[in-house]
């Protein structure tokens, strides 16, 4: 399976909303497998098709290599808990940059699997953070937008300096 080219910050395509997947076919499954291999090589724990310039609503998350990776097609947050959790986040599109971000501790998400079967499930802790992070990306919200202006500017300067 070929590794895909990951868009790098500040590529403007990272700010574009992704279109819903409408065809659940062999091409979708091939894209999903290519995303998984690309994410593993990056390395990362979550990735969207938007990260490789494909504006389709597909996410892969693999928090534990001992378990099956999870694919979420057209994911949508249905509800979120009022409790907040803080986790370090980063992006395969901005390697090496991390910062703490606050998000709801748990969520309920609706999505389709690669065969087009509808699911709803609850996620909490780091999985909830990862899903919210990747769904933001599908909506054209790059993770830096969740930071205060001061933190965002400081992180960008530091990252740009280390990638010259």
Q: Is residue 33 part of a domain?
A: yes
Q: What is the CATH number of the domain that holds 121?
A: 3.90.45.10
Give me the domain span that covers residue 84: 12-162
Q: Could you confirm whether 134 is annotated as catalytic?
A: yes
pLDDT for residue 109: 98
pLDDT for residue 65: 86
Tally of structural domains, the chain:
1
pTM above 0.85, yes or no: yes
Q: Is residue 3 part of a domain?
A: no
Q: Is residue 121 part of a domain?
A: yes
* Spatial contact of 78 and 120, defined as CB atoms under 8 Å apart: yes
Q: Is residue 57 part of a domain?
A: yes
Q: Where are the alpha helices (DSSP H) in 15-140?
A: 26-41, 125-138
Q: Among residues 23, 62, 68, 134, which one is catalytic?
A: 134
Residues of the chain under the 70 pLDDT cut: 1-2
**Matching residue, tokens 């899903």:** 131
pLDDT for residue 2: 67
């Amino acid at each position: 399976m070929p590794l895909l080219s990951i868009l790098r910050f500040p590529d403007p395509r990272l700010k574009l909303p992704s279109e819903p997947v409408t065809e659940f076919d062999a091409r979708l499954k091939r894209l999903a497998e290519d995303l998984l291999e690309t994410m593993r090589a990056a390395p990362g724990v979550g990735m969207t098709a938007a990260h490789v310039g494909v504006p389709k609503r597909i996410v892969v998350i693999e928090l534990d290599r001992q378990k099956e990776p999870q694919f979420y097609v057209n994911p949508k947050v249905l509800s979120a808990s009022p409790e907040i959790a803080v986790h370090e986040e980063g992006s395969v599109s901005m390697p090496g940059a991390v910062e703490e971000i606050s998000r709801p501790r748990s969520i309920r998400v609706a999505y389709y699997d690669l065969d087009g079967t509808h699911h709803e499930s609850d996620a909490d802790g780091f999985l909830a953070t990862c899903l919210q992070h990747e769904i933001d990306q599908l909506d054209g919200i790059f993770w830096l937008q969740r930071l205060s202006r001061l933190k965002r500017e400081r992180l960008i300067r530091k990252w740009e300096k280390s990638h010259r």
